Amino acid sequence: MVDAGKYLVRGILLNPNYVQQWYNGVYNMENATPLVVTDTITQVANFKVQSHFHFLYRYVVSGTATDTLGNPVKRAWAIFANAEFSFDSSKED
């Protein structure tokens, strides 16, 4: 039970395969819909979460990965990341 008022609600999933989000389906607090809680009505905040992997298939890139002799490398992967994304959570200024 919480006191009456406006609340920003964030869905934080313990399963890392899903994207965390704010109520009502947005990914940043500035765009979140406040949930108004009164002392007389039960409020419900449902979340329809997206898989982290949902975003991986928006673009198709084709090509050939080769070794230093120019031989094709089988089953090679190329990983693309936004320039502001960091695998180690650090950011250069």
Condensed to tens digits (0 to 9), the pLDDT of residues 52-87 reads 776 555 667 778 889 999 999 988 877 777 666 555
∠71-74-77 over CA atoms, to 5°? 110
Domain count, the chain: 1
88 falls within a domain: no
Q: Is residue 18 part of a domain?
A: yes
Residue 93, pLDDT above cutoff 60: no
Is 23 among the domain residues?
A: yes
* pTM: predicted TM-score of the whole model, two decimal places: 0.50
Would residue 33 count as lying in a domain?
A: yes
DSSP 7: E
The pLDDT score that the predictor gives to residue 31 is 92
Name the residue with tokens 């419900």.
Answer: 44
Is residue 87 a part of any domain in this protein?
Answer: no
Half-sphere exposure of 76 (CA within 13 A, CB side): 12
Whether 37 is covered by a domain: the verdict is yes
Residue 32 belongs to domain spanning: 5-55
Contacts of residue 67, Cβ cutoff 8 Å, sequence gap at least 6 = 73
Q: Which of 23, 27, 26 is nearest to 10 (CA)?
A: 23
